[in-house]
Homo-oligomer: A and B are copies of this chain.
């Protein structure tokens, strides 16, 4: 099957058609009409086989997750999802793989209101690159650089599930059947906190999504905002599945350094704490206070009031 036919069959005919898409797949460029008084938020993420996902990942989960991780970047800026391009590199044309992959991709795209507007399919080792575009009222985007001394630090959801899910898939850990499905699902199908990010837009001073692990990702806020932070590790939210599957110390390791949770970490001034409660309840997201921004540029961890020195760090490529 030829490239053009392939793209048409699985990607051109499916999915959401947004009204602001003037021209979609099928010309040299797509054309979109941005809304007035909005900035465009743009991010791209590549997922490479054996680096970002195991060869055993079901193609439907891969399609879903490829978009979800990009949506998470929009969420952390408080942007509304709009358009994406997909560059798909694959070793050969496998129609059943394509059918499942596109199903997962469009499932996420339709739920979050994203139109696929362009793409490129090439032969090579499996990798998926998505460039995502969102819109945010100009001047209202959540950045990493706005955290202030005294702000409270919050996270959404629970941390560490995805990393334990990955260890189960790798065969490094085995857990009860009761928890296995939940943990693997958290790894395969992370929930980008899109509505929560938008709700936080006028309330939080900074935000980031947790892709590499809390201890690693919070450093970006500290560096960009020129502040330090105290995190109470006993306040870190962890799921019953994580806590019941490994030792307390291991659970904390997963929660502090495990990657791919795609929860939001954000900072809120004392004056907005009440408003945050209301805003996030409407977004249907659980969240919890885990610490406070402080002077200096260091991250301090405390456990039951005592300094806590972790012996593990977030993972990075290279």
Contacts and interface: CB of A to CB of B under 8 A. Distances in A.
Contact of A317 (B26, B32, B121): B121
A185 B131 CA distance: 31
Nearest to A41: B29
B77 A131 contact: no
Contacts of A16: none
A28 B118 contact: no
Nearest to A22: B39
A43 B23 contact: no
Interface string A111-144: 0000001111111110101011110101001011
Interface stretch (A45-53, A150-158, A236-244, A247-255): A45-53
Contacts of A57: none
Give the interface residue-count category, chain A. 35 or more
A271 interface: no
Contact of A34 (B34, B83, B85): B34
B141 A31 contact: yes
B318 A121 contact: yes
A125 B125 contact: yes
Contacts of A145: 27
Contact of A28 (B28, B31, B43, B93): B43
A229 interface: no
A119 to B, nearest CB: 7
Given A4-B316, A48-B123, A85-B131, 20 more contacts: A3-B317, A22-B39, A23-B141, A27-B77, A28-B72, A28-B208, A29-B77, A29-B79, A33-B39, A33-B138, A34-B34, A42-B117, A43-B85, A44-B118, A46-B87, A46-B120, A48-B89, A87-B87, A87-B129, A124-B127
Interface of A: 1-4, 6, 22-23, 26-34, 36, 39-46, 48, 50-52, 72-74, 76-77, 79, 83, 85-87, 89, 93, 117-125, 127, 129, 131-134, 136, 138, 141, 143-145, 208-209, 224, 316-318
